[in-house]
Amino acid sequence: MTISLSERQQCVVVVGVGASQGIGAAVSRRFAQEGLKVYVVGRTLEKAEQIATKIKNNHGDAVGYCLDAEDPIQVQQLFQSISLSQEQLVAVIHNVGGNVPSIFLQSSLKFFSKMWHSTFLSAFWVSQNCLKIFQQQKAGTLIFTGASASLRGKPFFAAFTMGKSALRAYALNLAQQYKAQNIHIAHVVIDGMVDGDRVNKALFGLGRLARMTRGTGGLNIDAIAENYWMLYQQTADLWTHELDLRPHQEKF
């Protein structure tokens, strides 16, 4: 029996969830607070399931899911399973791509290719699959996590800038294409160091020291998640397609 769209359970997919104190985990928790089922998707099943379990312990609905977002077959299988479950996919958050510095003249083509696959190609596969569902539903929200590198390159981050700047151009292009179909697409520039496990535990704690000595304190992950929820809540009367988030001390 086919269930009408209004009767289906609403769900959200957050791709790129790793540390329990990270953007992906914070966004998963925020959407679950509103009664939405959250697919907590990451490369490591144990980490994804730990975050999903914490959400369920707080009376939320979540499931841990493991996949490589750079693998088109694995991404396709995830969204096919959601379609077969007859759930209503209301939002997808793409939060993939770590910042790895390198010296340009010492960087191999293999390294550049790997960074491009992580920061951009994974977004291509995710968007191709979820947009098909959104078109069928005639509604949906797709949010991409960007970075300072989306707007400007800095020394030692040529490879990261390549992927993130391509992602920004791609996201804003999709936003123009699909807004008339009631599909909201947004790109979020995370400008500054994030106050999460990835930074704080980097280089045996030196990452946390670097964050604190910069004087910005870092971007609060729960505040970031609140802004993602705000984007999802927007109506077609007025949509934000790009949002720039930074600590108040961070320079423009």
pLDDT in tens, 20-75: 999 999 999 999 999 999 999 999 999 999 999 999 999 999 999 999 999 999 99
Alpha carbons 112 and 129: distance in angstroms, whole number: 25
Q: Which of the residue ranges 157-166, 212-221, 229-238 would you say has the lowest mean pLDDT?
A: 212-221
pLDDT confidence band for 194 (50 / 70 / 90): confident
Which pLDDT score, from 0 to 100, does residue 252 have?
Answer: 65
pLDDT digits (tens, 9 = 90+) for 133-155: 999 999 999 999 999 999 988 88
SS3 sequence, 179-201?
A: HHHCEEEEEEEECCCEECHHHHC
Instruction: Determine if the pTM surpasses 0.85.
Output: yes
Judged against a pLDDT cut of 90, whether residue 100 lies above it is answered with no
Which pLDDT score, from 0 to 100, does residue 204 have?
Answer: 46
Compute the radius of gyration of the chain from its Cα atoms. Answer: 18
Which pLDDT score, from 0 to 100, does residue 246 have?
Answer: 86
**Is residue 246 within 8 Å of 191, Cβ to Cβ?**
yes
For the record, the structure tokens of 247 come out as: 């600590």
Which pLDDT score, from 0 to 100, does residue 202 have?
Answer: 39
**Is residue 123 within 8 Å of 131, Cβ to Cβ?**
no
- Mean pLDDT, residues 195-215: 49
Which pLDDT score, from 0 to 100, does residue 209 have?
Answer: 45
Distances (CA, A) of 1 to 4, 86, 138: 10, 10, 21
In this structure, the number of other CB atoms found within 10 A of the CB of residue 94 comes to: 27
Alpha carbons 197 and 177: distance in angstroms, whole number: 36
Alpha carbons 45 and 66: distance in angstroms, whole number: 5
Alpha carbons 214 and 192: distance in angstroms, whole number: 10
What would the CATH number be for the domain defined by 7-245?
Answer: 3.40.50.720
Q: Which of the residue ranges 5-14, 134-143, 189-198, 215-224 would you say has the lowest mean pLDDT?
A: 189-198
Judged against a pLDDT cut of 70, whether residue 211 lies above it is answered with no
Beta strands across the sheet bearing 88-94: 61-66, 37-42, 10-15, 88-94, 140-147, 183-190, 242-245
Which pLDDT score, from 0 to 100, does residue 141 have?
Answer: 98
Alpha carbons 105 and 8: distance in angstroms, whole number: 53
- Following CA atoms 33, 130, 195, 250 in sequence, which dihedral angle do they give, to the nearest 10 degrees? -120
Which pLDDT score, from 0 to 100, does residue 26 have?
Answer: 97
Residue 160 corresponds to which amino acid?
F
Please give the distance of CA 131 from its chain centroid, rounded to a whole number: 15
Candidates 93, 174, 189; CA nearest to 141 is 93
